[in-house]
Structure 1
């Protein structure tokens, strides 16, 4: 690992920003941030958690932007007139969006596992991360939701896991088109339904996403992903189903337990 970089997350309390900040910080880089919710005096436990992990927090008034050596990370929720953004532009700091930074880190990993689809991404990302952790693979996991299995007294906001293994597991988002930024070793696609974009746009996005992956895990119980399985090279596929016994992984006699 090279010299530590300095990152400033504008909107650090967001569901996609907080886990990414934790991952960057866990890799040894310097992390600070701001959030309008912090300025409003809300969600104190979340920000106390970040401070407890050594992440410095500032008012969202530009005071946290130290100079051009900082990398300023913003989400789609951050407007150009926010003082931190205005200050970053004024000092010439490098700016990246949350998806750009996540894709950069993900694509550097030796074994990137990207979880896509319209619904269930957070749940499946957490499940894959937990399985890899249980197998002592020490994955890095980026999620948009708190993962119950990783929650502990000192880690209540467990939406990320930082490991030193080869696997980087992340849910990836199609709503803003940023799914196109990822080059996964394994792409997991659970379902495709009408949401955010037209169905034709979604089919195109997910087909390109699958085409770039080394291996594609597809759900045959969803009509759209089943169609995708029919047009991708068979050697790239690993299919699963609870209905089709011809799938590579077929589930039957499943018992749900508490």
Structure 2
């Protein structure tokens, strides 16, 4: 198959391009800019565009499919040329559905936890040597790509993102997969640039449930009241399997999961991760993995990339970074690290980096998100606010939102680094939460302090 990617450099897009190239398809692509690690990975596969920018001449009649990334706009010259030639145009979720419509599709949805749960499932399936197609939003240890396709596989496991599909398709991605088996981990308002009200956001999850094939199944976190309400209101003829956080204990910085065979040490921690684990166990069970094999496999799971990822460690302190940026994720991650080491001082830092987090109307959602930390700091860039064409955000607004009078607030990257490297990190745990990089934080220097 000859496939062309418009905006090939995105995280999901370049992984799909690599997957198609791996299975023998002829792949080309274009983009106006490509960053690491996409750049090096495309270059190594011979898929890096010869030049950046858009060129209608790249679109020729022999192309059988165009895959359009969210980064591409509706007036993109390559897109317009493809329309002119009548070439089929797909968003990447549409294309993944076409690749999996004769398979059993397992879709993991939720405002938080979906990457971790999908990663756990794939880790377990790999451990028990069960081959499946997949798409996941983080790089996993032992996996070459975040997307894998094989016509011989019976299952496809998909992380179900609720963000929009492409410039032409304004449906949430997870509405397109039509799962046979689905999971909902939690619902907490996000992506307010697309879903301006909480009610509108919740509606997307109700629609997701309606897309489950008749006779299919939904596994859901009944501890999340919003998830519970949406699932119970669903009239689709499907099986409903609720789950709750399993019993566990923490001893000397180690989390022990209670299993039928006794306490089992885990390499992950935090109540939210134990809840994720239980959701993954239910999905694996529905895919034919028995409990004994699941527990053996999950005991070796170290976590998804950028999810409570260990940066440095000494005898008396640890430093972790996490992709957490939305209020619910910040709160869960902060509680997790404090709960793992309750006797140690915890300094928790969060960067407000996304459109939602820098919107004054949304900031109130962060109330109490850092309360579990002994010390807390927030970094944000007024320039980022300006680029996103949002109303200015003041330090007073941020302090009022988090409702923490001792909150330290930084807008200059150098001031933040001076504060951070001025800490006695031998005596306290550090948690850095962001989908950005704090204006260029030197993680190698940070590691040298441990």
TM-score scaled by structure 2?
0.47
- Structure 1 residues 162 and 181: alpha-carbon distance in aligned structure 2, compared to 1, 3 A threshold: closer
Query: Equivalents in 2 of 1:68, 1:28: separation in Å?
Result: 16
Q: How does 1:38-49 map to 2 (within 5 A)?
A: 38=34, 42-43=35-36, 46-49=38-41
Report deviation, 1:137: 1.4
Matched, 1:178 2:173: yes
Report which of the two structures shows the higher radius of gyration computed on alpha carbons. Answer: 2
Quote the residue 1:239 is aligned against.
Answer: 242
- Structure 1 residues 85 and 58: alpha-carbon distance in aligned structure 2, compared to 1, 3 A threshold: farther
CA contact (8 A) 1:31 1:56 kept: no
Query: Equivalents in 1 of 2:230, 2:73: separation in Å?
Result: 37
Report deviation, 1:48: 3.6
CA contact (8 A) 1:113 1:185 kept: yes
Q: Deviations over 1:124-145 (max 9, x none)?
A: 2221111112121111111222
Query: Equivalents in 2 of 1:257, 1:169: separation in Å?
Result: 23
- Please point out which of 84, 88, 93 is paired with 2:82: 88
Quote the residue 1:257 is aligned against.
Answer: 267
Quote the residue 2:135 is aligned against.
Answer: 142
Q: Deviations over 1:193-234 (max 9, x none)?
A: 112323333333322322443111101121111223433579
Query: Equivalents in 2 of 1:162, 1:150: separation in Å?
Result: 16
Matched, 1:53 2:56: no
Report deviation, 1:55: 3.4
After the TM superposition, which of the residue ranges 179-188 and 24-33 deviates more from structure 2?
24-33
Report deviation, 1:94: 2.4
Q: How does 1:180-195 map to 2 (within 5 A)?
A: 180-195=175-190
Matched, 1:102 2:96: yes
Quote the residue 1:31 is aligned against.
Answer: 27
Quote the residue 1:226 is aligned against.
Answer: 228
- Please point out which of 107, 111, 121 is paired with 1:114: 107
- Structure 1 residues 183 and 86: alpha-carbon distance in aligned structure 2, compared to 1, 3 A threshold: closer
After the TM superposition, which of the residue ranges 221-230 and 197-206 deviates more from structure 2?
197-206
- Structure 1 residues 230 and 72: alpha-carbon distance in aligned structure 2, compared to 1, 3 A threshold: closer
Query: Equivalents in 2 of 1:235, 1:17: separation in Å?
Result: 32
CA contact (8 A) 1:19 1:143 kept: no
After the TM superposition, which of the residue ranges 92-101 and 116-125 deviates more from structure 2?
92-101
Quote the residue 1:125 is aligned against.
Answer: 118
Matched, 1:77 2:75: no
Query: Equivalents in 1 of 2:238, 2:186: separation in Å?
Result: 20
Flag structure 1 segments of 5+ consecutive residues without an equivalent.
243-250
CA contact (8 A) 2:133 2:148 kept: yes
Query: Equivalents in 2 of 1:108, 1:24: separation in Å?
Result: 18
After the TM superposition, which of the residue ranges 229-238 and 111-120 deviates more from structure 2?
229-238
Quote the residue 2:60 is aligned against.
Answer: 66
Q: Deviations over 1:163-210 (max 9, x none)?
A: 542111111222322322221111011011112323333333322322
- Structure 1 residues 82 and 209: alpha-carbon distance in aligned structure 2, compared to 1, 3 A threshold: closer
- Structure 1 residues 229 and 86: alpha-carbon distance in aligned structure 2, compared to 1, 3 A threshold: closer
After the TM superposition, which of the residue ranges 76-85 and 56-65 deviates more from structure 2?
56-65
TM-score scaled by structure 1?
0.79
Give me the CA root mean square deviation. Answer: 2.6
